[in-house]
Amino acid sequence: MNTWFVGSHPIGHFVYQFRKAGKTPASPASTPPAPPPSQEMTLAGEKTFFMKGRIMAGQADITANELGVEDFKWLAKEEVQKEVSPQYWANVKNMLVQQ
């Protein structure tokens, strides 16, 4: 798939606060070791940043993905609302184009 990102800055972000704070996840072998237990950070939430992009040609091929993705959906803006929570939709609807 041939894609192109419009600009180098996010067009917006979504902040999600966890109901219960959690510990930092264990580090994979390819990253530096996790800090000692006395220095662990507590995660209170996460942020998702949105980038504006365009698909120039082609289709998505997930057969050789390394992240374990098994399926995906191409959705129009009005279809996204039916698939996500009302809170999430309220925060992202203005970042999506009508096309």
- Which pLDDT tens digit goes with each residue over 55-83? 888 887 788 888 888 778 888 888 989 99
What percent of the chain clears pLDDT 90, i.e. is strictly above it?
6
- Residue 92 makes CB contacts below 8 A (sequence gap 6+) with 12, 14, 50, 80, 84
pLDDT of 82: 92
Q: From CA 18, how far away is CA 36, in angstroms rounded? A: 23
The whole model's pTM is what? 0.58
pLDDT of 27: 47
